[in-house]
Amino acid sequence: MTDDAATADARTVLLLDETTASESGEHCDDLMHVCRADRRAELVVSFPGDVTDGVDFGSLSGGRQPAKRGSITVGETFRAVGAGEPDFSDPIVEDTVADPTDLQTLGQTISRFCEVWNDAGYEIAVCFDSLTDLLRANDAEIVFKFCHVLASRLTAAGAVAHFHLDPGAHSQQLELTFEQIFDETRMEEIDVEHLVPSRRSRASDTDVAEETAQLDLTDPTADDASTDSDRSAGGDPTDDTSASDTSSDDATGDRTTDGDGEASDEEIAERFSAINGS
C-alpha cells in the first residue's frame, strides 16, 4: 500500500445503481480513480447482454488511461482462436469465464489479476458489474458466500472494489443482507433527466434488525460444504473441502471465518428462504 489518500483505506463498496446501460455513474468513476494513472490498474468484471458486446475501454474512468486495464467477461462470448492465457505484461489484459454459475473459476480469475498487479506494485481498482446479473444465474445464498470471500481477498490485495446492484430488481431484505459484506453502501440514482449521485451510509444496526430479524449473519464461508456440491453447476464456489483457512480450492484461494462460530448449510438456507418467499 502507498500513502495516497485514495488507497490508504482500501475498501469494498456496494453500489446501488439505478442508471441505465447508456449512462455512466459518477460514483463508479470516482471509485476507480484510486491513484495517479501511471500507478493504477483497473479491472472490470462484466456480464454483457450480447455475445458481441465488449468493454469499451475508452469510456471507463472518464477517459483516463491507467497503466493497466483488465476485463473479465462472464458468459458465452466470442474469443479469438488461439488467444490462450492473458498476458499481464500488456497494458490491456482480457479474460473470460464462460459459465456464470462457475463461481470458483470466476473467483480465481479475479484473484489472479489482483495478485499479479499487486506483486507488480500497482494500486488496484475493481468494478464488478453486476451482482444483479450474478444473482440471475445463481442462488442468493451461493452468491452471498462468494461475495463474502471475494471481498476479503480484494481487501487483502489492497484493492478498492465496488459491486453494482440494481435495487429495483431485488427486495430490500436481500439488499440489506448483502450490505453486511461491504464496508459501505452508495447510490447512483436518476433525478429527472440527469444522474444525481448520492451517498448513503451503511445500514444501521436498527435497520438491519428490523429488516433481517430472521437472519443470523454469521460468516457462512466457514461451512463444510463437502456434501453440498450439487448446489451449483460448477460445484460449491468456495470449494470448502477442509476446515483450513488456506484451502487452495476456495473460490478466491482464501477463506474468512469469525470467532463467533460457523453457520450450517441449513441455517443459511433458512435465512434466504424469507427473501425468496419460500
Reported as a single tens digit per residue, the pLDDT across 34-76 is 898 999 999 999 998 754 445 554 445 455 689 999 999 999 7
The whole-angstrom distance between residue 66's C-alpha and the CA centroid of its chain comes to 21
For the chain, list the domains and their CATH numbers: 9-203 (3.40.50)
Its pTM stands at: 0.66
The whole-chain average pLDDT of the chain stands at 73
Contact between residue 99 and residue 76 where contact means Cβ atoms under 8 Å apart: no
pLDDT for 65 equals 80
Q: Is 78 or 161 the better-scoring residue by pLDDT? A: 161
pLDDT digits (tens, 9 = 90+) for 175-220: 999 999 999 999 886 654 544 444 454 555 555 455 545 444 444 4
C-alpha distances (whole Å) from 99 to each of 75, 211, 233 are 5, 33, 9
Dihedrals phi, psi of 252, to nearest 5 degrees: -120, 10
pLDDT for 276 equals 58
Instruction: Give percent of the chain above pLDDT 70.
Output: 54
Amino acid at 15: L
pLDDT for 148 equals 96
